[in-house]
Amino acid sequence: MKKNKVRVGIIGASLDGTWGGLVHIPALLSLPEYEITAVSTTRKESANKTAQHFGIPHAFTDPYELASHPDVDLVTITVKVPEHSKLVQIALDAGKSVYCEFPLGRTLDETVDLIQKAEEKGVRHFVGLQSRANPAIRYLKDLIADQHIGKILAVHCNYALPLFPSRSKQVNQSRTYLLNKLNGANHLTITAGHLLDGLTYLFGSFSEISSILETQSNRIQVVETGEFVHADAPDHVVINGKFENGAIMSTQIRNTHVGNLTIEINGTEGDLVLQSNENFMFQIDSFTVKGTKNNKFEELPVPPSYFVQPTELKSGPAYNVAGLYRMIYHDLQENTHLAPNFHTALSVHKLINVIQKAADTGKSQKVYGG
């Protein structure tokens, strides 16, 4: 691996609205410590178009060709969740470091299998739980650790998303896979998954969880064709729990017409609030931190030291991803463990399984281990 630049190959980076093209390429282009050397898509035309547009040397349709190419140090996987397991294994077989978006696998078993294979290969592995690079969340973590509001007693998350709203019950053809629970990409695994990782990052592990999972809109119309498809993935997620430190947590995630994302934290000496500025998604949004200071409730500006992103990169989907790549670069160069990895993903997948069991049984479940 080059000392000065990490050379990245992105699997799934077309220019037609994919996460790789919209987010990962802009994030990496803003970071001088990285170089995008290869892209891969399912069609040669789209791969060539992306490569030519950004001046990327290599374009492939075969992901193994990308992963095994000598000009690639880190393989980034940004495709739909059902393809993650196969593509991560391709990167591992090539002996390359790998970054995979979250969820890592469709199921807990897939995730465990990928960790075992990554450990056997002895390569560095990372997962896209990018809220850990959010400056406001990192600052909030330190406020909590420094007992800015004393001992934490309660945490409440109000999470309303204007996605698949009940008034339209429509979805684009390319996103119908989100409606099938077996694909492992829905409000429980993605929306709640990212949030759960953020909550455990801030407050530590859960000791107990109860939940309600519902599919309130189970007949969705496809925008392009007008046909109706059946949905069985949860679109309303309620999670209540207790952290090991004794704090009580309540969260409600649902589809709405107007978005809202607020986390309220109550302590023995005051309160903190994390308020989204975009009201879209936890892992993407920028936040304003408010709390008690000098007996007043006011905004607590995030100190400059918490910003690891390039100053020229503005808030948006690429912002936290760029911050995460900065953490990954440090890990690769200094052999540290700052960035979330497959083990981090496994902890979230285990929580998701506990939440599903709590919903299926209607009983609170104990949480054992990370």
CATH number at residue 50: 3.40.50.720
Question: Which of these three, 81, 97, 123, is where a domain ends?
Answer: 123
> In the numeric block, which tokens belong to residue 171?
């979805």
Which pLDDT score is estimated for 2?
46
Contact 97, 74 (CB under 8 A): yes
Q: Which residues pair with 266 in a beta bridge?
A: 154, 271
Residues 267 and 154 in one domain: yes
Would you give per-residue pLDDT tens digits along the chain (370 residues)?
446 899 999 999 999 889 999 999 999 999 999 999 999 999 999 999 999 999 999 999 999 999 999 999 999 999 999 999 999 999 999 999 999 999 999 999 999 999 999 999 999 999 999 999 999 999 999 999 999 999 999 999 999 998 776 666 888 898 899 999 999 999 999 999 999 999 999 999 999 999 999 999 999 999 999 999 999 999 999 999 999 999 999 999 999 989 999 999 999 999 999 999 999 999 999 999 999 877 789 999 999 999 999 999 988 999 999 999 999 999 999 999 999 999 999 999 999 999 999 999 999 999 987 5
CATH number at residue 156: 3.30.360.10
Which pLDDT score is estimated for 166?
64
Question: Which of these three, 123, 149, 167, is where a domain ends?
Answer: 123
The reply to whether the predicted model has a pTM over 0.85 is: yes
Residues 111 and 162 in one domain: no
The boundaries of the domain holding residue 277 are 135-301+346-366
Residues 117 and 250 in one domain: no
Which pLDDT score is estimated for 283?
97
Residues 239 and 174 in one domain: yes
Residues 41 and 141 in one domain: no
Residues 207 and 86 in one domain: no
> In the numeric block, which tokens belong to residue 52?
């030519």
Residues 15 and 100 in one domain: yes
Question: Which of these three, 94, 123, 152, is where a domain ends?
Answer: 123
Residues 195 and 292 in one domain: yes
